[in-house]
Structure 1
Amino acid sequence: MLAVAMLAQTATAQDRPNSFADLADKFSPAVVNITTSTTVANAGGMNPIVPEGSPFEDFFREFRDRNGDQENRPRRSSALGSGFVISEDGYVVTNNHVIESADEITVEFFNGTELDAKVIGTDPKTDIALLKVEAEGPLPFVTFGDSDKSRVGDWVVAMGNPLGQGFSVSAGIVSARNRALSGTYDDYIQTDAAINRGNSGGPLFNLDGEVVGVNTAILSPNGGSIGIGFSMASNVVKRVVEQLQEFGETRRGWLGVRIQDVTDDMAEAMDLQEARGALITDVPEGPAMDAGMKSGDVIVEFDGTQVDDTRELVRQVGNTTVGKTVRVVVLRDGKEEVLKVTLGRREQAEGAIPAAQPGGETEAPDERELMGLTLSPVTPELTEQLELGENAEGLVVVDVDEMSDAYEKGLRAGDLITEAGQQKVASLEELEARITDARDAGRKSILLLVRRAGDPRFVALPVEEPADAN
């Protein structure tokens, strides 16, 4: 047994590279420093406060008049970052935040050569920018690898221009995969390879010398590396770069729905086998509406790929070609339905306004307490007070018991409940009937569609047991 353990340790040690020097020598010529220059307006010079009549009043007035032109003169601001060449004809990848608002961009190569660069296109959503330099001959370049093949524990090497100190190499491992920070299309590789300010836009290599990530961010209380760096996965970057190279902009697919994740209590309330998929909360005008999608549908498959949650669906749709007709499988009333959707373009639809809420006549004012909520049908007074819109229909949450599940799940006074059990409700009697139906069906929860300031979301609340008769 001891011999086996020793052999295992030896094999592990042999997998560790003796040095990263060969990799650094081979690929460093394709890694560049990026310097940007930006003209910024002067915030204003010294404006001393001198009491009127003071003997210093004339002195400061003359000083201000003499130096006024200099104080208000625009100044130049510079910034440093990193990047890497991806083709011999001079295309360079970096972060958008490195070159954003820059008037001049200079790319410095490992051998000291400096070339001016122009911006081909940018994508703020993934923080990627594509530049172009013109050189007299072919440039050394690197290629993208398949970031999906990177495993937690794999060795990686970061190259760049940390803290403006010039070319530098740091090594570490892949600490985590599929990290999300704040963007819709985030897919970050987390690494403990030292990444500092100035490394932004530089490459993260695997041991084959393939770029598996673009160093983008650090998580730090003081702005320095503490072993938590993030690189945008190369499979995301490749698609963005290809579009920027071809169109000068991104062209992402657009389905046209608002969605949220399916929780365990929602799955139970909807009688689903498991809590997965993307639950549609709203369907404004667009491709999804044209295809017959409805609020309350759960998208479980998109273009032949299983959908586990909303983040995965957003990435799948965004990576699909604009204008492509795809098969989308939804769960509706417990049954699968296959819909064909022709995708639009997200960039053109981002300013679209959601569809108006359905209309209908309101009931007479009446309040009732159900599931920790004090509810009232829509009244003219509530419509005006809450700015619900002329055709608002549903039940208004007047108050919420702070000890209830409803409060814990975020319901607040002023919310509008428009559906219960995936059926429209406009009266308290209709809501009570939906609760009874859920209880009779043996369900522990009921699914409510709640709107706040027009934005919809689903919430599952436990159904109350009927009170004992006295």
Structure 2
Amino acid sequence: MGVLSALFLLVQTIQAAARPESFADLADEVSPAVVNITTSTVVAQGTGPGPIVPEGSPFEDFFREFQDRNRENGDRPRRSSALGSGFVISEDGYIVTNNHVIESADEIVIEFFTGEELEAKVIGTDPNTDIALLKVEAEKPLAFVPFGDSDTARVGDWVMAMGNPLGQGFSVSAGIVSQRGRALSGAYDDYIQTDAAINRGNSGGPLFNMDGEVIGVNTAILSPNGGSIGIGFSMASNVVVKVVDQLKQFGETRRGWLGVRIQDVTEDVAEAIGLEKVAGALVTDVPDGPAKDAGVQSGDVILSFDGQDVEDTRGLVRQVGNSEVGKTVRLVVFREGKTQTLKVTLGRREEAEGAIPAAQPGGEDDGGATEKDVLGMTLSQMTDELRGQLDLDASAEGLIVRDIDETSEAYEKGLRAGDLITEAGQQKVKVVADLEARIDEAKEAGRKSLLLLVRRAGDPRFVALSLEK
């Protein structure tokens, strides 16, 4: 036998050893803890659209009589049902599922693998991660499954999904971890992508590793037709565990809150402010809150939070949200070419949500040219008339973009007529001369670009524009 043949056989042997012969033992082990969930909701009759019948159709009178009979019956309410999945996490009856499975439900019935049914009550929900915690009262200890460490799951690892797809009852599907760290729409998203079949009704069911530990809660699929095409998403267990612990303890989530608006650091932004590494979270606004009290400023780059490096905005949001309310943490920020360490006592995000951060007020007009073309933009200093036209706050100050060259870098990076430039080079600008001075200073310092703070409808963001022709 040649060397290549021997190597080929060795690879085949290794692959065969890594592939499980069967998932049957694992399925037998965990099935008693997986549940079907049936919810029912009372809805009013006649809330949906009526039948669409062409005018003059022979069926027109029939449907009119049908609707009249419904009105005579008083549009009596009817009960609507929905199906989902879940799993037991403790012998005393705590059950995890998706929030969207039980949302607005008047009645929740849990069906166990044995066929036994129990009514459940809602302990707490978290729409941000689509997780809900339920509780049933059983006469004897229930079989349950433990959570595993989702951070140890590797792309290519075998996984098994269980649930109630399409209302067919208990069902098992297997696949691998297709990818980690997927984000769909939420700030706290950390989804495991898998090709294990997930369909309607699987929502809220567990995704197991080969040790029988739950490493994800099956939540969503990507599909053009509503059926499984091998792209499913399970919320990572390390996110779920923190949520479940808070729901169990408080009946609600209590996430840390820093109180800043942030954006990712890009290469041109890093160059504009002299930051060596493209990392961290760039602060665009600091409303009243913990960060402002601690001295955080617009234009700071948050490099470290509570001893952990900050890679990007998504990472910072998760780090802060996973922190204890009221905890004092160290924040390392990059400001004016140097790092500073600040101490911040975190607030509670749920109490702060809905607050609209206010723009920082500027000072009085200090003269200079009223309108000029700079960096591909026609800029004008603020006037009361412009404030009224653009529906800006009376304290708003800065340079208004009156027009913009559509071939310019500024246009390419999203600036538009009506935008308000409030800072350049992390200093306030009120007249065109201020911006020109910042440009000259940046060139003298050897900078290739200038950082602008731009506001649109009150929302701030930083944009770096090249100073090289």
- Matched residue type, 1:244: L
**Residue from 186, 195, 200 that aligns with 1:183:** 186
Local SS of the residue matching 1:316: helix
Offset at 1:63? Answer: 6.4
- Report the alpha carbon displacement of residue 42 of structure 1 after superposing the two structures with TM: 2.2
Question: For 2:43, which of 33, 37, 40 is the aligned residue?
Answer: 40
Of residues 451, 457, 460 in structure 2, which corresponds to 1:453?
457
- Superposed CA offset, 1:126-169 (max 9, x none): 00000000111000000000000000000000000001100000
1:434 equivalent to 2:438? Answer: yes
1:335 aligns with 2:338: yes
1:137 aligned residue: 140
Q: 1:231 aligns with which of 210, 234, 252?
A: 234
User: What are the Cα deviations for residues 21-51 of structure 1, in whole angstroms up to 9, with x where unaligned?
Assistant: 0000011010000000011122358699999
Amino acid at match of 1:367: E
Is residue 199 of structure 1 aligned with residue 202 of structure 2? yes
Instruction: Report the TM-score, using the length of structure 2 for normalisation.
Output: 0.95
Shift, 1:71, TM fit = 6.6
2:381: which partner in 1?
377
Per mean C-alpha deviation after superposition, the further-off stretch among 447-456 and 348-357 is: 348-357
- RMSD value over aligned CA atoms? 2.1
For residue 352 of structure 1, report the CA deviation from its aligned partner.
Answer: 1.9
Secondary structure, counterpart of 2:362 in structure 1: coil
Match of 2:448 among 425, 439, 444: 444
Return the alpha-carbon distance in structure 1 between the equivalents of residues 257 and 18 of structure 2.
44
Letter in 2 for 1:415: D
Q: Give the Cα–Cα distance (whole angstroms) in 1 for the partners of residues 151 and 435 of structure 2.
A: 47
How far off its partner does 1:72 sit? Answer: 1.8
Q: How does 1:27-426 map to 2 (within 5 A)?
A: 27-43=30-46, 65-70=68-73, 72-362=75-365, 363=367, 366-426=370-430
- The structure-2 alpha-carbon separation of the partners of 1:65 and 1:364, relative to structure 1 and needing over 3 Å to count, comes to same
1:62 Cα deviation after fit: 7.2
Q: Distance in 2 between matches of 1:59 and 1:27?
A: 54
Q: Distance in 2 between matches of 1:331 and 1:59?
A: 74
Shift in Å at residue 106 of structure 1?
A: 0.4
State the percentage of identical aligned residues.
Answer: 75
Does residue 1:24 correspond to 2:53, yes or no? no
Q: Which AA in structure 1 matches 2:306?
A: D
User: How many Å separate the matches in 2 of 1:331 and 1:132?
Assistant: 47
In structure 2, what is the equivalent of residue 468 of structure 1?
none
Question: In the aligned structure 2, how far is the partner of 1:208 from the partner of 1:105?
Answer: 30
Cα shift at 1:280: 0.3
Contact 2:262–2:282 under 8 Å retained in 1: yes
1:320-363 per-residue CA deviation (whole Å, 9 max, x = no partner) reads 00000000100001101000000000000012231343132234
Give ranges in structure 1 of 5+ residues lacking alignment.
Answer: 466-470
Residue 6 and residue 426 in structure 1: after superposition, are their counterparts in 2 closer, same or farther (change >3 A)? same
Q: In structure 2, list runs of 5 or more residues that go unmatched.
A: none
Counterparts of 1:457-468 in structure 2, within 5 Å, are 457-465=461-469
Q: For the residues of structure 2 that align with 1:402 and 1:108, how far apart are their CA atoms?
A: 61
Size of the aligned set, in residue pairs, is 463
Q: 2: distance between equivalents of 1:16 and 1:48?
A: 55
Q: CA deviation at 1:366?
A: 2.0
Q: Distance in 2 between matches of 1:242 and 1:47?
A: 47
Question: Do 1:365 and 1:379's aligned partners in 2 also have CA atoms closer than 8 Å?
Answer: no
Comparing 157-166 with 455-464, which one deviates more in the overlay?
A: 455-464
Deviation at 1:458, TM superposition (A): 0.3
Amino acid at match of 2:158: W
SS in 2 for 1:68: helix
Distance 1:59 1:326 in 2: 70
What is the Cα deviation at residue 415 of structure 1?
0.6
After superposition, what is the alpha-carbon deviation per residue over 1:69-119, rounded to whole angstroms, capped at 9, x for unaligned?
437222211110000000000000000000000000000001100000000
Q: Tell me the TM-score normalised to structure 1 length.
A: 0.95
Q: What SS class does the counterpart of residue 225 from structure 2 fall into?
A: coil
DSSP-derived class of the 2:73 partner: helix
Letter in structure 2 aligned against 1:196: N
Q: Name the CA shift for 1:166/1:49 in 2 (closer, same or farther; >3 Å).
A: closer
The answer to whether the 8 Å contact 2:38/2:83 transfers is yes
Give the AA of the match of 2:267: D
Closer, same or farther: CA 358–50 of 1 in aligned 2, 3 Å: closer
Letter in 2 for 1:447: L
Shift of 1:11: 1.4
Q: 3-state DSSP class of the match of 1:105?
A: strand
In structure 2, do the counterparts of structure 1 residues 251 and 397 end up closer, same or farther at CA, with 3 Å as the change threshold? same
- Contact kept, 8 Å, 2:362 with 2:428, in 1: the verdict is no
Contact 1:146–1:234 (8 Å) recurs in 2: yes
- AA at the equivalent of 2:382: V
Distance 1:156 1:47, change over 3 A: closer
Change (3 A) 1:129 1:64: closer
In 2, Cα distance between the equivalents of 1:60 and 1:21? 53
State the distance in 1 between where 2:99 and 2:224 align: 23
Counterpart Cα distance in 2 of 1:96 and 1:459: 38
CA contact (8 A) 1:196 1:225 kept: yes
